[in-house]
Structure 1
Amino acid sequence: MTGTQVPARPIVVPIGEAEAPEAAEFLHRHLNPRISPQRWLAVLAPPWADGPNRGFALLSGGSVVGVYAAIYSTRTRRGATFGVCNLAAFCVLEPYRAHSLRLVRALLGQKDLVFTDLSPSGNVPAMNERLGFSTLPSATRLMVCLPRIGGGARLTEAPDVIARTLSGPDAGVFADHHDAAAARHLVVQDGERYAYLVYRRDRRKRLPLFASPLYVGGDPVVLESNWGAVASHLLRRGYVGVLAERRVLGFTPRGWGFEVRHPRPKMFKGASDPEDIDYLYSELTLLEW
């Protein structure tokens, strides 16, 4: 294409099952080549398989030139049930960047949904603010994982033990996420009580050595009182630190650590209370990068 050529106006189409493989290949080639098309396809077809589409694509001449992938779920908070659309991955080829907002509007134009954007980067946070998104409280303390011997609690990541232990909403979370590629599951048992931690492996300074909690179920007091044992467990699995968000854990862990000066933003639109937003059913549970 020469500098004087103007690309034809692309069309916006929903991504369905038939379009998902081409959208996954596009994200592999143009957004993050380290992530295979198969892994992108898993994001476009999550284990819980909920939603009217898998996002929207820009097509020009029959070829994909832009993708905004979306992950849908149905959630219940404080007795109310509502749909969530998680904005998962956004990429448009440079000649078509002027049409980027058409993808955004196609997604946000869907009615009666809460929207989340849990890993925005580049100029997306500023764009989201202009579109009415709010930023979730994200105070984060990097807690160093230290070795520890002993302790009365039992810790397990064995799927069969976890499935037998969890009850109520926690059992549903595990059923939906036990095949989610980025979700790790840990249960802490203390007598008859348990705490359930879902976390992911994250990179800082390109080093994949950090655990990021995504969800806490059961009794958070069990997790807090056994934090030393949890940190030691994670250290044995190759994590040097935990990126501990208070809004996720419900407490600030004791131990050696420091405040993260610029935690990565997480944003939402359409919910009246930030407490209604968590990090499940999203790219954070489906995709490592």
Structure 2
Amino acid sequence: MPAVQPRFREIQESDVDAIADLLTRGFVHRSRQYWMAGLKRQGARSLPANAPRYGYLMEHDGKPVGCLLLIYSTKTIDGETVVCCNNSSWYVDSEFRNYAALFATMTQKRKDVTYFNVTPATPTWPILEAQGFKVYCRGLSFSLPGLSRNRGGMRVETITADTTAIAGLPDHELELLRRHAGYGCLSLVCRSDTEVIPFVFFRLRKRRGIIPLPALQLGFCREIADYVRCAGAIGRHLVWRGCPIVIADANGPIAGLADIYSEARGRKYFKGPRQPRLGDLADTELAIYGM
């Protein structure tokens, strides 16, 4: 253990290059370009009041030796506007690992914020649980939506970052779809004669030289029931784009879908006043940094 305890402080704009170097060193399968692109997006986002722009770093002798990226946003949960914080990439150099738990605790102290972790590595599960985090998602559903029937003549439209208006869609949801299209996600609406239903899907990227499944991750919907209702139309739309499989957060098989449920991956944790809902990964690291 170092003789001098490291200092914890908020990440500033001037730290971004050093943080990218630190994360590239800590996550060897992610390139520096990956981190810089995500940090640039994070630096341009709107934030709730009194929220840090990037998160916090652990510093020793004037150099970062650890960091925890925090992505703040506001979400509507059961009709209430809630301040949420996605605890994103957490890394500490081996020499300073004894301070890692204290570092994480010191940076997650606000009682009005719901903190959540959508990519917890298996070895960190006991640490998160000791810090008071609870599981809200236990696994993943792998579905073939194209096998579902198209209910009520649903039609699918693609939304781009330049889309100016969608009849029947509230402005805040259109902005969410446009924003995520700008991140490189697939933003869609499913339209019937009476309603317009928004969706965001995350693209899977090649990692460690492995070609990903021909699949998309469900990144946003108002509720999972919307995906079930629109699955047929969405599935046919996605099949023509070479992605017949949709991965969704779940706590068991999803009724009404042709799916397989697995708890091998996908566990997610939260701590705070409101439990996140399944099907809302908007404005998280999975969107801003990519999968």
Task: Evaluate the alpha carbon distance shift between residue 149 and residue 76 of structure 1 in structure 2; reply closer, same or farther with a 3 A threshold.
Answer: closer
Matched, 1:38 2:39: no
Matched, 1:228 2:215: no
Task: Evaluate the alpha carbon distance shift between residue 226 and residue 69 of structure 1 in structure 2; reply closer, same or farther with a 3 A threshold.
Answer: closer
Q: CA deviation at 1:66?
A: 0.7
2:271 to 250, 257, 269: 269
d(CA) in 2 for partners of 1:84, 1:134:
15
Say whether the 8 Å CA contact 2:188–2:199 is kept in structure 1.
Answer: yes
Deviations 1:195-235 (A, max 9, x none): 211111236994423211122149955x4344223123222
d(CA) in 1 for partners of 2:68, 2:179:
23
Q: CA deviation at 1:274?
A: 4.5
1:215 to 220, 233, 244: 220
Q: 1:189 is aligned with what amino acid?
A: R
Q: 1:238 is aligned with what amino acid?
A: G
Query: Secondary structure of the residue that 2:89 maps to in structure 1?
Result: strand
d(CA) in 1 for partners of 2:164, 2:145:
23
Matched, 1:26 2:22: yes
| Structure 2 residues not aligned, in runs of 5+ | none
Say whether the 8 Å CA contact 1:46–1:180 is kept in structure 2.
Answer: no
Q: 2:262 is aligned with what amino acid?
A: V
Matched, 1:127 2:124: no
Say whether the 8 Å CA contact 2:24–2:30 is kept in structure 1.
Answer: yes
Task: Evaluate the alpha carbon distance shift between residue 150 and residue 104 of structure 1 in structure 2; reply closer, same or farther with a 3 A threshold.
Answer: closer
Deviates more, 1:260-269 or 1:102-111: 102-111
Query: Secondary structure of the residue that 1:229 maps to in structure 2?
Result: helix
Matched, 1:10 2:14: no
- In the alignment, which residue of structure 2 is the partner of 1:137? 137
- In the alignment, which residue of structure 1 is the partner of 2:202? 200
Q: CA deviation at 1:145?
A: 5.8
TM-score, scaled relative to structure 1: 0.82
Q: 1:231 is aligned with what amino acid?
A: G
Query: Secondary structure of the residue that 1:103 maps to in structure 2?
Result: helix
Query: Secondary structure of the residue that 2:68 maps to in structure 1?
Result: strand
d(CA) in 2 for partners of 1:162, 1:188:
17
Task: Evaluate the alpha carbon distance shift between residue 54 and residue 264 of structure 1 in structure 2; reply closer, same or farther with a 3 A threshold.
Answer: same
Say whether the 8 Å CA contact 1:46–1:71 is kept in structure 2.
Answer: no
Say whether the 8 Å CA contact 1:68–1:91 is kept in structure 2.
Answer: yes
- In the alignment, which residue of structure 1 is the partner of 2:89? 89
Task: Evaluate the alpha carbon distance shift between residue 101 and residue 146 of structure 1 in structure 2; reply closer, same or farther with a 3 A threshold.
Answer: same
Q: CA deviation at 1:9?
A: 2.4
Say whether the 8 Å CA contact 1:74–1:82 is kept in structure 2.
Answer: yes
Q: 2:216 is aligned with what amino acid?
A: A
- In the alignment, which residue of structure 2 is the partner of 1:73? 73
d(CA) in 1 for partners of 2:256, 2:248:
8
Say whether the 8 Å CA contact 2:47–2:53 is kept in structure 1.
Answer: no
Deviates more, 1:90-99 or 1:70-79: 70-79
Say whether the 8 Å CA contact 1:156–1:188 is kept in structure 2.
Answer: yes
Number of equivalenced pairs: 280
Q: 1:266 is aligned with what amino acid?
A: K
Percent of aligned positions that are identical = 21
Q: CA deviation at 1:43?
A: 5.3
